[in-house]
Homo-oligomer: A and B are copies of this chain.
Amino acid sequence: MENIKIQKYEDLLLKNGLKRTGARLQVLDVLSNRNSATSQPYLENIIGKAIDRVTLYRILKTFEEKGIIHRILDNQGTANYAICSNSCTAHNHHDEHVHFNCNNCLKVYCLAETKIPPLKMPAGFEVYSMNLIVSGICKDCKQHTN
């Protein structure tokens, strides 16, 4: 882990009133260095030897509550996690972007620029939030299968 990055992670933890621990830094580092969301099984695979499974779950829950990361359930119901935009706070997530779930590599991508279009709902339903998951084949998989 590079010093510049560690500094960034420490700031993030400090800002949210969380203690600086090795486990938390590791989780932030893994999530930060990937170009797609990270699944819970993947996380457990790569840092599950160093960090207790339960601790990992608790870190993820804490981060989500603080608005540091957001959770995306893919089409198999697997939990995937991605760093939030820095405008997210404990009680206000701003991640209402579309997510893409590749049927081939199973990765989940945050399409940060693609917002969920407005919708007219039937009467009587009060809308709080929306989750749109698009399925198909991702850029990478399309190239590799050509």
Q: Measuring CB to CB, which residues of chain A are less than 8 angstroms from any residue of chain B?
A: 73, 75, 77, 79, 98, 100, 103, 109, 111, 113-114, 116-122, 124-139, 142
The reply to whether A128 and B119 form a contact with Cβ atoms under 8 Å apart is no
Among candidates B111, B122, B131, B134, residue contacting A133 with C-beta atoms closer than 8 Å: B131
Q: How many copies does the complex hold?
A: 2
Tell me whether B117 and A128 are in contact (CB under 8 A): no
Q: How far is the CB of A20 from chain B (nearest CB, A)?
A: 31
- Kindly list 15 other residue pairs between chains A and B, CB separation below 8 angstroms, not including A73-B77, A130-B135: A77-B77, A98-B121, A109-B125, A111-B122, A113-B122, A114-B122, A116-B132, A117-B117, A124-B139, A125-B136, A126-B137, A128-B135, A130-B134, A131-B132, A131-B133
> Which of B100, B113, B125 is close to A100, meaning CB atoms less than 8 Å apart?
B125
State the main secondary structure of chain A at its contact with B. strand
Can you give 28 A-B contacts (C-beta < 8 A)?
A73-B73, A73-B75, A73-B77, A75-B131, A77-B77, A98-B121, A100-B125, A109-B125, A111-B121, A114-B119, A114-B120, A114-B122, A116-B132, A117-B118, A124-B142, A125-B134, A125-B136, A125-B139, A127-B136, A128-B137, A129-B134, A129-B135, A130-B134, A130-B135, A131-B133, A131-B134, A131-B135, A132-B132
Known A75-B131, A77-B79; judge A138-B122 contact (CB<8 A). no
Q: How far is the CA of A103 from the CA of B133 in the complex (A)?
A: 19
